[in-house]
Structure 1
Amino acid sequence: MEDDVAVGEWNFAPPPNSALLNASSLSVRGVLGKIMANVNEDGGDLRPRIPLGHGDPSVFPCFRTTPDAVDAVVAALKSSQYNCYPPCVGLAPARRAIAEYLSCSLPYKLSPDDVYLTNGCAQAIEIIISVVSRPGANILLPRPGYLFYEARASVNGLEARYFDLLPENGWEVDLSGVEELADENTIAMVIVNPGNPCGNVFSYDHLAKVADTAKKLGILVISDEVYGHLTFGSRSFVPMGVFGQTVPVLTLGSISKRWVVPGWRLGWIVTNDPTGILKQTKVVECLKNYLDISSDPTTFMQGAIPEIIHNTKEDFFNKTIDILRQTADICYEKLKEIDCITCPSKPEGSMFVMVKLDISRLNDIHDDMDFCCKLAKEELVIILPGCAVGFKNWLRITFAVGPSSLEDGLERLKSFCLRHEKRIK
């Protein structure tokens, strides 16, 4: 048996960055890992586990990516042209293809030099938060929101402040709240559109007001558009870069969601900066310097990007949208049958919906985390608790699963709620 170690004798104790000790609590993966630990795979329950907690529909055949994308990757690998290290900013043909792809929705043309390739959108977040961080600064984040931003801010010593998304207004940004939060040390605000976790889609007029507010405050906008174009309601997707003349915008995106290939890890940071503010303030220079010391997306994926973008047919995108529209309808209608759950609005984009959980109507359920852990144990259904996105006693449910699996999972959710429902004496 080993002797006890005198930790205090070592120079690296406590950890150099103590924020990492709590990082998993700010991670969807970390929270889902705790919930799935409640599933007893050998407990005799032969029902399949239903994943309604994360946004990866690729395991379901109806969400399989287009063969055009697969062919492009195979061709890039077979060519032997992409076995080398790429430039830190990304291969020029890939940057050009992404610039052209994104420019189709903008009132100006992006240059390939405006595009920087990353290992998916997660690394894009990591990089951009590191680039804008400085001592004493703060950043404004949406609540509910994707807490990976808070985790990266914490690691970089950047204060996170939260503005509300308003469920009664279709999850629009509380712009008056943004102005109240900001001060001379605020550097940026983050928006996610289409919305994760809310399933909302911001209108043109609302985004214009966001741009005007950011300009008034003298801050840039970081626009997470990883779910760009995944809309199936009354509103079309409008990229924040449309307002680049009003306020500098850093757009984050990837092929993960629209092409249903999250494991391919190809994302980007784009500077929507026709007035040159990001160059004048050295943000672009710092971004390039950071890329010099970070990892690159695989070269063969970069080599495949031009063909993936140019060869993918609209039929593939339309099919994906049609399935999401169908499953969003199923989710919205099925949730109406559960008394302890309230859905404030029908989702119109992304892959998620936020619903309110009425704990007072349930026995032996303490909060949203307890609800999700017991649901996983009893019904093998995995749902993300609202605490993982900054909204306690809410739930984030993904409907990006096969329709039959979704119906099965929601029926199990209903059975669980009925079983734990308080009986009126």
Structure 2
Amino acid sequence: MANNGGSSRRGDDGVGVGVTPSRWRFFRPTAGTPLAAAGSMSIRSVLNRLNSSVDASGTRPVVPLGHGDPTSSACFRTAPEAEDAVVDALRSRKHNGYSPTVGVPQARSAIAEYLSRDLPYELSPDDIYLTSGCVQAIEIMISVLAQPGANILLPRPGFPMYKSRTTFSELEVRYFDLVPERGWEADLESVKAIADENTVAILIINPSNPCGSVYSHDHLAQIAETAGELGILIIADEVYDHLAFGSKPFIPMGIFGKTVPVITLGAISKRWLVPGWRLGWIATCDPNGILKETKIDQSIQNYINITSDPATFIQGAVPQIIANTKEEYFNKILDLLRNSADLCYGKIKDIRGITCPHKPEGSMFVMAKLDLSCLDGFSDDIDFCCRLAKEESVIVLPGLGSDHFRH
């Protein structure tokens, strides 16, 4: 056997020991790789850092406010009908095998019908692709769009997962600002200024993570018109669909699907309070067939063919979850979120050095502004969040983690 440059000796038990590292041919990860960069800027990386700052020997219970996981609060529990649906799916023994790559037909039909309730046209089950949560839906769409030279427009502030996925896929990002004085509406003039012939899509998150805003029909119409003029598709992240508790109702971007192709990303994670069930979807809201014409739908199918599926028994439960959950349950959750938002907004106003530019109207988040000039000894927002975790066991996400400015 050839010597590859390493040295070794055989121990008493016959097992080789002491092989030098020069023998191994796989690379050593470096900070410059897309994977290393994407991982370091992810929301999970930031949360891991904050959680590690908590004083393990302290007596204060951890208050986790940095992640959109409603299950951390006992008052947020899924509907009994959803739990029963999962139990029934398991006991039926019909959902223990592999599912079709695009999803179980009955689940796709149920989701198409669910989304069509709010649209001026009907979605087909063929328009629905099931994913392992909304995060996998993000992964698929960014990977599909990441062609050489292409760029995508992302909101700032925004959900950090998009930046992580675009970095890993080496898709260029261009940011447009959300304006806090206008309820975090998109600055559409800046959208027009940064787009060019290589721009493929714009991301709209509504209701917003992390801003807690909900867009009006008029603003969504303006976004659709702008995207149509630019010839780009809209990725509509609506994982918080219907979690609107302010003056404006939730309106899906898909109602403008005849103006511009819309790809909606969603999940049962937030409205049903079950992020751990990992059931999401991609919905092509495109009655004009532009996504088929440009083969985007085929690219989605191709990517799904090389990735994993959501758990089959959860897919099997979806029709019953959607059909049986009572409106009273949803109203109860909205009341809880509204009361929490009112309390949070009111308390923030009483804290010197922290302001809230816009009262939250949807999702599960509020974006606050930190004025470091009023606070001694803090270098930036990350330092503030780390010390808050260490001294008070309270976890909040820094604005930098949402691609926002420091204060």
Q: Distance between the aligned counterparts of 2:209 and 2:87, measured in 1? A: 32
Match of 1:332 among 345, 360, 368: 345
Q: Which residue of 2 aligns with 1:50?
A: 63
TM-score by length of 2: 0.93
Question: Which residue identity does 2:44 align to in structure 1?
Answer: R
Determine helix, strand or coil for the equivalent of 2:272.
Answer: coil
Match of 2:52 among 5, 30, 37: 37
The question of 1:320 aligning with 2:336 is answered no
Match of 2:241 among 228, 233, 240: 228
Question: Which residue identity does 2:141 align to in structure 1?
Answer: I
- Offset of residue 16 of structure 1: 12
CA offset digits 1:95-131 (Å, max 9, x no partner): 0000000000000010010000000000000001111
Q: Distance between the aligned counterparts of 1:244 and 1:186, measured in 2? A: 19
Which structure has the larger Rg?
2
Question: Which residue identity does 2:346 align to in structure 1?
Answer: E
CA RMSD of aligned residues (A): 1.6
The question of 1:139 aligning with 2:152 is answered yes
The question of 1:238 aligning with 2:251 is answered yes
- Offset of residue 2 of structure 1: 6.3
CA offset digits 1:372-421 (Å, max 9, x no partner): 00111111111100010011336xxxxxxxxxxxxxxxxxxxxxxxxxxx
Match of 2:38 among 19, 23, 28: 23
Match of 2:208 among 177, 180, 195: 195
Q: Distance between the aligned counterparts of 1:337 and 1:78, measured in 2? A: 52
Question: Which residue identity does 2:113 align to in structure 1?
Answer: E
Q: Which residue of 1 aligns with 2:297?
A: 284
Q: Distance between the aligned counterparts of 2:230 and 2:20, measured in 1? A: 54
Q: Distance between the aligned counterparts of 1:270 and 1:297, measured in 2? A: 16
Tell me, which stretches of 5 or more residues in structure 1 are unaligned? 395-425
Q: Distance between the aligned counterparts of 2:39 and 2:28, measured in 1? A: 20
Q: Which residue of 2 aligns with 1:398?
A: none
How many residues get paired?
A: 391
Q: Which residue of 2 aligns with 1:404?
A: none
The question of 1:218 aligning with 2:231 is answered yes
- State the 4+ residue runs in structure 1 displaced beyond 6 angstroms: 1-4
Match of 1:355 among 365, 368, 373: 368
TM-score by length of 1: 0.90
Determine helix, strand or coil for the equivalent of 1:271.
Answer: strand
Call closer, same or farther: CA 1:341–1:17 in 2, change over 3 Å.
closer
Q: Which residue of 1 aligns with 2:180?
A: 167
Q: Which residue of 2 aligns with 1:248?
A: 261
- Mapping of 1:396-411 within 5 angstroms? none
CA contact 2:29–2:36 (8 Å) conserved in 1:
no
- Offset of residue 83 of structure 1: 0.6
Q: Distance between the aligned counterparts of 1:212 and 1:176, measured in 2? A: 12
CA offset digits 1:207-249 (Å, max 9, x no partner): 0000000010000000000000001100000000000000000
Determine helix, strand or coil for the equivalent of 2:397.
Answer: strand
- Offset of residue 4 of structure 1: 6.7
Q: Which residue of 1 aligns with 2:354?
A: 341
Q: Which residue of 1 aligns with 2:311?
A: 298
Q: Distance between the aligned counterparts of 1:16 and 1:235, measured in 2? A: 44
Q: Distance between the aligned counterparts of 1:57 and 1:16, measured in 2? A: 34
Determine helix, strand or coil for the equivalent of 1:101.
Answer: helix
CA contact 1:24–1:31 (8 Å) conserved in 2:
no
Call closer, same or farther: CA 1:80–1:391 in 2, change over 3 Å.
same
Call closer, same or farther: CA 1:24–1:155 in 2, change over 3 Å.
closer
CA offset digits 1:131-173 (Å, max 9, x no partner): 1110010000000001211111111121011000011111000
CA contact 2:239–2:270 (8 Å) conserved in 1:
yes
CA offset digits 1:61-109 (Å, max 9, x no partner): 2111111000000000000000110000001100000000000000001
- Offset of residue 24 of structure 1: 2.7
Q: Which residue of 1 aligns with 2:106?
A: 93
